[in-house]
Amino acid sequence: MKTYLIEKYGDQSAVHAAELPDPQPGPEDVLVEIHAASVNPLDFKIRDGAFKRILPYRLPLVLGNDLAGVVVRVGSAVTRFAVGDEVYARPDKDRIGTFAELIAVHQDDLAPKPAALTMAQAASLPLVALTSWQALVDRAQVRPGQKVLIHAGSGGVGTIALQLARHLGAHVATTASAANAALVKELGADVVIDYRTQDFEQLLEGYDVVLDTLGGETLEKSLRVLKPGGKVISIAGPPDADFARELGANPVLRQAMNALSFRTRRRAKRHGVTYSFLFMKADGGRLRELTRLVDAGHIHPVVDRVFPFDRTRDAMEYAEKGRAKAGKVVIAMK
């Protein structure tokens, strides 16, 4: 099968096409012919080696973290899927590799593809939709009437998180460019802060939840717009000890991650709020719930551009350089 992989960590030049043997599914695995995959910032971090201490992959490594496709074979113990089913997924972190023609995915990580979506649209959703759900529903437990700030509302996570927060009944603010103000309002934002000309810290206060997708100074300022008891959930800030425990990291690595987030957690405590780092998990059950929301019209994907499979490197470069105006960049194998 054709793939795009890395044999060493590095910049975009490390990514190249290669032929590999077709994967062989285990008893509980589903072999999926991939029709489309999408590009995520996580792909760049894995390629660069930024996560090599946390996620010690064996090289060569096929990149790619979400997909949509058709089942072509099932393992002997698979009960939920059959050959010919249209599915989508974010594979488990230890079994990534969706920039390929085929992948074997555990049945627990798969879900039926939303019926109304194309393969490209469906492929844009799993990682960002699961991130949004795990942040806003599982961790923040957002309730109707609460105030939620979602940073980078026109980004991959932001476009889905805005819609989910609106569905949950929250009052939603977001940061975005003026050019994308109309889009993020349509997606669910009640308040739009132009990050180029306005300082959200000066305009917002008393928020219950912040979903931070940017880290750095944005994360620091976010602590100050929360009311006492509020929560900042970050996918871009420093990892913490809870994340290390979820990974099953050794005591030394747990201590190191705890030290990385110590300053942020201390500042949060001073403001009477909490900070936590989120690294989303593969979860076919949650993805099924999201499928129902998509099919009911509560969530729809935002796709910026679709590249053919033989231009995977171009797709990654386009996304990494921030050329996408809104939503996701998708790679189409079919």
Same fold, 2-126+283-332 and 140-277: no
Examine the pLDDT at 248 and tell me if it is beyond 80.
no
Q: CATH number for 140-277: choose from 3.40.50.720, 3.40.309.10, 3.80.10.10, 3.30.70.20.
A: 3.40.50.720
Pair of tokens at residue 17: 């096409």
Q: With bands split at pLDDT 50, 70 and 90, how would you rate the model's confidence at 237?
A: very high
Share of the chain above pLDDT 70, in %: 100
Checking if the pLDDT of 246 tops 90, the result is: no
Which amino acid appears at position 280 of this protein? M
Which one, of 297, 231, 294, lies nearest residue 264 by Cα? 231
Map out the domains of the chain as residue ranges.
2-126+283-332, 140-277
Give per-residue pLDDT as tens, 15-48.
Answer: 999 999 999 999 999 999 999 999 999 999 999 9
CA–CA dist 177, 203 (Å, integer): 16
Confidence at residue 56, expressed as pLDDT on a 0 to 100 scale: 86
pLDDT, residue 260, reads: 83
Cβ 314 vs Cβ 16: under 8 Å: no
Strand arrangement, sheet containing 61-62: 15-19, 2-6, 61-62
Sign of CA dihedral 237, 182, 295, 66: negative
Taking only the tens place, the pLDDT of each residue in 249-295 is 778 877 888 888 899 999 999 999 999 999 999 999 999 999 999 99
**Higher per-residue confidence, 157 vs 254:** 157
The string of pLDDT tens digits covering residues 44-90 is 999 999 988 888 899 999 999 999 999 999 999 999 999 999 999 99
Question: What are 74's strand-pairing partners?
Answer: 30
pLDDT at position 110, please?
98
CB 117 within 8 A of CB 18: no
Q: Encode pLDDT of 125-136 as tens digits.
A: 999 999 999 999
Count CB neighbours of 257 within 10 A: 23
330 vs 124: CA distance, rounded Å: 6
pLDDT band for position 120 (cuts 50, 70, 90): very high
| Topology at the third CATH level for domain 2-126+283-332 | Quinone Oxidoreductase; Chain A, domain 1 (3.90.180)
In this structure, what token pair is assigned to residue 198? 């306005």
- Across the range 294-298, mean pLDDT stands at 96
Contact 214/152 with Cβ under 8 angstroms?
yes
The residue-averaged pLDDT of 234-245 equals: 87
User: For residue 58, what is the DSSP state?
Assistant: P
Strands (DSSP E) contained in 147-225 are: 147-150, 171-176, 191-194, 207-212
Angle at 221 between CA 217 and CA 224, to 5 degrees: 160
Of all residues in the chain, what percent carry a pLDDT higher than 90? 90
What percent helix, strand, coil does the chain show, rounded to 5? 35, 25, 35
> What phi and psi, each to the nearest 5 degrees, are found at residue 176?
-165, 170
- Would you place residue 245 in the very low, low, confident or very high pLDDT band (cuts 50, 70, 90)? confident
Give the integer Cα–Cα distance in Å for 325 and 154: 8
Per-residue pLDDT for 193 more than 90? Answer: yes
Report the candidate in 225, 230, 219 with the shortest Cα–Cα distance to residue 191.
225
What is the Cα–Cα distance from 31 to 74, expressed in whole angstroms?
6
Residues in the chain, total:
334
Statement: residue 109 has pLDDT above 90: yes
CA 88 to chain centre: 14
Q: Which residue has the higher pLDDT, 13 or 255?
A: 13
Strand order in the sheet with 171-176: 191-194, 171-176, 147-150, 207-212, 226-234, 274-277
In this structure, which amino acid lies at residue 86?
E
Mean pLDDT taken over the chain: 96
Q: Which candidate, 86, 130, 84, 91, places its Cα nearest to that of 108?
A: 91
**Contact between residue 67 and residue 32 where contact means Cβ atoms under 8 Å apart:** yes
